[in-house]
Structure 1
Amino acid sequence: MNSETTYLTDLAAVLWPCGGLLGTGDGAVRRMAYRNRGNQYLPVPNAHNPRVILPAHNRSAATRGITSFAQGHSLRERLRTLMLTSAFATGVAPLLLRDRLFVGAGPGIEHALTTALDRELAIAIHVGPPRANRKPVLLLLTPGGRTIGYAKVGVNDLTARLVRAETRALHRLSRARLRDVTVPRPLYDGEWNGHPMLVQEALPVGHQTDRPTRHQLLRCVTQIVGISEVRERRLSESPYRRSLDERIARLGARPEATPLRTALHRLPDVSLPFGAWHGDLTRWNIASTARRAFVWDWERLTMDAPAGFDALHFDLNECVQAGVHPGVHRWLDSGTRLLRDPMLAGFGLRDHTVSTVMALYLIDLATRYLHDRQAESGSGMAAVDDWLLPALDGLQERAAHEAVRPV
């Protein structure tokens, strides 16, 4: 077993308390599964590199699961999705995919969700690449393959905290008035097998939606900022800086803590607008039409952060798609232009504070990565001392220059 197959069997123990066995499409494991009359799932592309887990004997649900979880941002990804959907639609996928996850008979996650929503359903599961906040996202489907919603299950301390946080966020957002932004409605929240579970509706995202344009992104960002009352404060007097300082202190003796704390205290004491931020607004969590944005994954919603953080986060993740180091260099310019857009200036974000906001964002992001131990999971973006701290040094100098000589 490698770490991924271990993860798969551990995940099976959470979703199906009756247990799960990894095996191939034939042999003793298969005969044992048939005797227990459990369900059979296919890890795709295989058990050593699972990204999705699909029902072996439900073509409609499996096909829908592939298309729903596909990123589809590159030609290679689109071709792979087309090949997989064709294999499942024609029924040959179980013959081509050797690995199986057999789960025993008895109440499992399917039964729990059927009871919670009071309707018959099938599931497909997205697990994604290894990372600290990796958790199963279950696509809930009718037996005929129509989408009902999504469920998330926390499987460790970090993901349990994130699922609970998103539950609170969605209930709060259900009372908010976002003119041009649609968020999922919570359908159910509770526990399964001792783990927190959240079920939310599926948003109407598909061929009619796309990644946001610059204008659509900023329109969305400004409406998210306004979820909480926007207040202007000097940085030194803000609850945000005190909170960030405390989070850095909780890093303890980690070597990155000292440069982060030093950078925070050296930033100019300028006045900034503070409001809400989504916390993880990326191309994977937003889709737009000309008039409306659909935004999901609200597990990091925060009510008091410098205005503009969401725009910076989206832009940074776009810039690094072709490589972290060249992407960060592009972001230092493109992020500056975003924060100077008139749409954000309406909140009181002034030109001479732009580099300060960008530096605060990097300090906040680094602190998050370190607390979540993202680098240990192999994420290149989480290598704080490799790219983030050098970028932060340059931003500190820019921030000091801007504050003394406003542009």
Structure 2
Amino acid sequence: MTTETTYLTDLAAVLWPCGGLLGTGDGGPRNAPPRRRGHQYLPVPSAHNPRVILPVHDRSAATRGITSFAQNHSLRERLRTLLLTGAFASGVAPLLLRDRLYVGAGPGIEHALAAALDRDLSIAIHLGPPRANRKPVLLLLTPGGRTIGYAKVAVNELTGRLVRAEAEALRLLSEARLPDVTVPRLLYEGEWNGQPLLVQEGLPVGGQTDRPTRHQLLRCVTRIVSVAPVTERRLSMSPYRSALDERIAKLGSRPEVGPLRAALQRLPDVSLCFGAWHGDLTRWNIAGTARRAFVWDWERLSLDAPAGFDALHYDLNECVQAGVHPGVHRWLDSGARLLRDPLLAELGVRPNTVSTVMALYLIDLATRYLHDRQAESGGHLAAVDDWLLPALEGLQERAAHEAVHTG
């Protein structure tokens, strides 16, 4: 078995306590008596590269799962979505897709969710690419195909912390004033098979929404920053810097600790504005119209970070889509331009702090990746010594120059 097929069978043991076996559509899993078989699910595009898991027995749920989880940010992605939805709608998908995940008969995650929400439902499951914080996201649908919401189930200690953190963030945000930004409501929080579980409402995104423009993004960033009281402090006196230093220290004897700590100590002691940041604002977690942003995946919400972090995170993830090294090179310029935008200037982001904020963001990101052990999971940005530490060296020089020469 490959790493991915092992992941699928381990995941099945979490979602369906009676477990699951991989097989093909022509004979079922080996050594599985027919009386013990439950539902069949299709790993798409295959068991060796699963991105979604769709029910063979519910054509409507499978079709909605394809459209709901599709990114459709490129022509190739839109064509793939069109082909898959057509295959499932016509009923030929089970004939074209050979791999199956057979789950045992008996109560599973869908039964627990139906009981928790007190309604009949079907599910489709999104997995995404391999990374340390990978966890199943379940699309919950009524029998008629209407979206009820999305469920997240933890599969290990890291994802357990993230699921609990997101539930807490959604509770906090339900009481926050976020003009022009819609956040999903928390519908249910509990446990399943010993792991944290939450259900949140689905946001009304689709054909009428798109990726945000620069202005829409920065407007959203300013709204998120203001979830917490915006304060101005010198870096050396900020609770944020102390907390970041402690997080670096907890990495122990890793070779990256020395360069990260040295970079933090060398940054100029400028005055910065601190507030909230989403923590993972990317094209996959935001959609909008001209007047409103819809933002989800709040599991990394922090109430104390330098203003502008969300803009830098979104921009970095956009820049590296075509390659990490050229993308980071572009980001060093485009990120600086974002922080100099008048919308962020209104928050107190000043020209003499731009490179300091960018350097702090990279130190924070590296610390997160190292704590989460992202490199071991193959994330394309996770090898911090390959691109992040070199970029950080240049930013330190820029930060020192700006602090002295920029008014």
TM superposition score category, shorter chain reference: over 0.9
One-letter identity of the residue aligned with 1:123: I
Write the deviation string for residues 245-278 of structure 1: whole angstroms up to 9, x where unpaired. Answer: 0000011111111000000010000100000000
What is the match of residue 128 of structure 1?
Answer: 128
Q: C-alpha distance in 2, partners of 1:161/1:47?
A: 27
Q: C-alpha distance in 1, partners of 2:335/2:167?
A: 31
Q: C-alpha distance in 1, partners of 2:146/2:55?
A: 15
What is the match of residue 24 of structure 1?
Answer: 24
How big is the shift at 1:37?
A: 5.0
CA contact (8 A) 1:61 1:144 kept: no
Report whether the alignment pairs 1:246 with 2:246. Answer: yes
How big is the shift at 1:36?
A: 2.5
What is the match of residue 315 of structure 1?
Answer: 315
Write the deviation string for residues 282-337 of structure 1: whole angstroms up to 9, x where unpaired. Answer: 00000010000000000000000000000000011111111111111111111111
Q: C-alpha distance in 2, partners of 1:349/1:318?
A: 22
What is the match of residue 64 of structure 1?
Answer: 64
How big is the shift at 1:32?
A: 4.0
Q: C-alpha distance in 1, partners of 2:211/2:27?
A: 46
- SS of 2:164's partner is helix
User: What residue ranges of structure 1 are gaps of 5+ in the alignment?
Assistant: none
Within a 5 Å distance, the mapping from 1:294-309 to structure 2 comes to: 294-309=294-309
- SS of 1:29's partner is coil
CA contact (8 A) 1:133 1:372 kept: yes
Q: C-alpha distance in 1, partners of 2:373/2:32?
A: 39
Write the deviation string for residues 127-170 of structure 1: whole angstroms up to 9, x where unpaired. Answer: 11111110000000112221110000010011000000000000
What is the match of residue 344 of structure 1?
Answer: 344
What is the match of residue 395 of structure 1?
Answer: 395
One-letter identity of the residue aligned with 1:242: S
Q: C-alpha distance in 2, partners of 1:33/1:101?
A: 15
How big is the shift at 1:114?
A: 0.2
Q: C-alpha distance in 1, partners of 2:102/2:30?
A: 7
Within a 5 Å distance, the mapping from 1:200-239 to structure 2 comes to: 200-239=200-239
How big is the shift at 1:30?
A: 7.9
What is the match of residue 55 of structure 1?
Answer: 55
CA contact (8 A) 2:37 2:102 kept: no
Q: C-alpha distance in 2, partners of 1:187/1:85?
A: 28
- SS of 1:200's partner is strand
One-letter identity of the residue aligned with 1:227: V
What is the match of residue 14 of structure 2?
Answer: 14
CA contact (8 A) 1:30 1:102 kept: no
Q: C-alpha distance in 2, partners of 1:144/1:182?
A: 26
Moved more, 117-126 or 70-79: 70-79
Q: C-alpha distance in 1, partners of 2:224/2:261?
A: 28
Structure 1 length-normalised TM: 0.98
- SS of 1:139's partner is strand
User: What residue ranges of structure 2 are gaps of 5+ in the alignment?
Assistant: none
Structure 2 length-normalised TM: 0.98
Report whether the alignment pairs 1:40 with 2:33. Answer: no
How big is the shift at 1:33?
A: 6.2
What is the match of residue 74 of structure 2?
Answer: 74
Tell me the percent identity. Answer: 82
Q: C-alpha distance in 2, partners of 1:331/1:19?
A: 45
CA contact (8 A) 2:28 2:102 kept: no
One-letter identity of the residue aligned with 2:309: F
Coordinate RMSD, CA, aligned: 1.1
- SS of 2:161's partner is helix
Alpha-carbon spacing, 1:371–1:65, altered in 2? closer, same or farther (3 Å): same
Q: C-alpha distance in 1, partners of 2:358/2:302?
A: 17
Q: C-alpha distance in 2, partners of 1:242/1:6?
A: 40
Q: C-alpha distance in 2, partners of 1:104/1:135?
A: 21
Count of residue pairs the alignment pairs up: 407
What is the match of residue 365 of structure 2?
Answer: 365
Write the deviation string for residues 11-40 of structure 1: whole angstroms up to 9, x where unpaired. Answer: 000000011111111225389464225111
One-letter identity of the residue aligned with 2:325: H
